[in-house]
Chain A
Amino acid sequence: GQQLNQSPQSMFIQEGEDVSMNCTSSSIFNTWLWYKQDPGEGPVLLIALYKAGELTSNGRLTAQFGITRKDSFLNISASIPSDVGIYFCAGRGAQKLVFGQGTRLTINP
């Protein structure tokens, strides 16, 4: 089946630092999505990317859809305590959504 490799698996940073995580795939996707999951909750959509090369921002979050359509990255600038959680990339083909393993972000105040 399709595989997404997300890295890093975990990050421990200081409040105010910038964060970068990425996702690579062996398959081409039509859409890349980035989700955040808080403890005890389902994932919530942060950013959706629809076109190769697309760069999209949502507040302090910026994500890009790779030119090859096989990768994507997410940056978070000036991290704050509420950014703590697990971040998932997801690639969408015709009907199915495939998820990466997640990046667990921990922030030291």
Chain B
Amino acid sequence: NAGVTQTPKFQVLKTGQSMTLQCAQDMNHEYMSWYRQDPGMGLRLIHYSVGAGITDQGEVPNGYNVSRSTTEDFPLRLLSAAPSQTSVYFCASRRGQGGNGYTFGSGTRLTVV
């Protein structure tokens, strides 16, 4: 059981470039979320999904897009990277009804120069 898998682990982008952070889970979890972690600010919710075909915005959605075409995958797209998006990004998933806390991936460290 791989759990939640995030790729890549590290990425450096130039301002204005686009890229997709990948997230896949093999636990058949309905709920998936993307968080960013910045020093002293905890984890802030970017976007989340309660099932395939359904996504919604979190606390800090600007500059990011998501889609959920399958239960397993929840990619996060940066359309035009900015230095303010330098952060560590975590994907997480959990069961819907009766699920406990989220299971997190090991993160993607993104630097935008």
- Partner-B contacts on A (CB < 8 A): 1, 4, 6, 9, 31, 33, 35, 40-45, 48, 88, 90, 92, 95-102
Contact = CB atoms under 8 A, between A and B. Distances in A.
Contacts, number: 57
Contacts of A96: 33, 45, 48, 58
Interface of B: 4, 31, 33, 35, 40-45, 48, 50, 56, 58-59, 90, 92, 100-107
13 contacts: A41-B107, A45-B100, A48-B101, A88-B42, A92-B101, A96-B45, A96-B58, A97-B45, A97-B102, A99-B35, A101-B40, A101-B42, A102-B42
Nearest to A102: B42
Nearest to B102: A97
Nearest to B44: A99
Majority secondary structure, B binding face:
strand
Majority secondary structure, A binding face:
strand
A6 B4 CA distance: 27
B101 A99 contact: no
A22 B50 CA distance: 29
A44 B44 contact: no
Nearest to A31: B101
Nearest to A101: B42
